[in-house]
Amino acid sequence: MEGFDTEEIRSIRLFAEVAEEHLRALIGAAVVQRVDSRTLLAEEGEQAEFLHILLEGSVELFARTNEQETTITILRPVSVFLLPAVVAGMPYVASARTLKRSRVLAMRADAVRNAFDADAAFARAIVCELSRGFRRVLAELKNQKLRTSTERLADWLLRANAQLGDTGRFTLPSDKRTLASLLGMTPENLSRSLKTLSEHGVVVHGRDILLKDPAGLARIARGENAGGEAEL
């Protein structure tokens, strides 16, 4: 456990406009922890007791049915996650675990709901955060419904590049099996899609990615000039 200050909390979009008295109450109900890779932070079906905010590192949201498991999303800092369950006082609908050593703020759910009821600015910030989350879910659903596996991978590589410095070089935030699950693909299908994209300037060495032709990759993401098809 480690300390944090008001300025750090204010820098998080969700808390930027909270009244000072309510912010003090929220800070009093929060801790910041450094947690190891593969640490389970929240479990699907459990009552939401904490609001989690990723400050450093990487977190995977995932779900299980029987013996099957799927990756829902991979989060980068600064990210608020599993907020709907906290606001509604309901169980988590997904699980969360770290993908590497991370720094996470955990804030008691009851304190968040109390501030939501008392502070109009905080309530608006939460509604905006939920709206952004809903848009992301719809965008991902459109990806799954309307793009082939190769197009989904091309789109994801472009977005990852933009988020990780826009240099054309970056390291995958997870192993390839997790990436395949995130994109709704089998590992074998991911390998075939990467091979297809290698003909369009995507170079892969382990988890290191080089994009030689981002413009060409963007055309593939739009369904143009995809070459060989990796969809099964």
Residue 19 lies in a domain: yes
Model pLDDT, residue 231: 30
- Using alpha carbons, select from 146, 206, 142 the residue that is nearest to residue 171: 206
Residue 41 within a domain = yes
Q: How far is CA 223 from CA 17, 149, 155, 194, 204, in A?
A: 42, 11, 10, 16, 22
CA nearest to 25, candidates 138, 131, 144, 117:
117
229: in domain: no
Q: Is 149 helix (H, G, I), strand (E, B) or coil?
A: helix
User: Over 70: is that where the pLDDT of 232 sits?
Assistant: no
Q: What is the pLDDT of residue 223?
A: 85
**Could you tell me the pLDDT band of residue 173, with boundaries at 50, 70 and 90?**
confident
> Which one-letter DSSP state was computed for residue 82?
S
Residue 20 and residue 112 in one domain: yes
Mean per-residue pLDDT, 64-84: 93
Query: Which pairs from 192-201 meet CB under 8 Å and 24+ separation?
Result: 192/230, 193/149, 193/150, 193/153, 193/230, 194/153, 195/228, 195/230, 196/150, 196/226, 196/227, 196/228, 196/229, 196/230, 197/150, 197/153, 197/154, 197/157, 199/227, 199/228, 200/225, 200/227
Tell whether 25 is covered by a domain.
yes
Structural domain range at position 86: 6-144
Q: Is residue 227 part of a domain?
A: no
Q: Is residue 181 part of a domain?
A: yes
pLDDT confidence bin for 1, thresholds 50/70/90: low
Domain boundary among 119, 144, 169: 144
Residues 132 and 161 in one domain: no
Output the pTM of the full model.
0.83
Give the Cα separation of 54 and 75 in Å (integer): 8
Is residue 117 located within the same domain as residue 44? Answer: yes
What's the distance, CA 91 to chain centroid? 19
| pLDDT of amino acid 38 | 95
CATH of the domain at 185: 1.10.10.10
- Identify the DSSP state of 49: -
Residue 125 sits in the same domain as residue 172:
no
Residue 104, both tokens: 């996470």
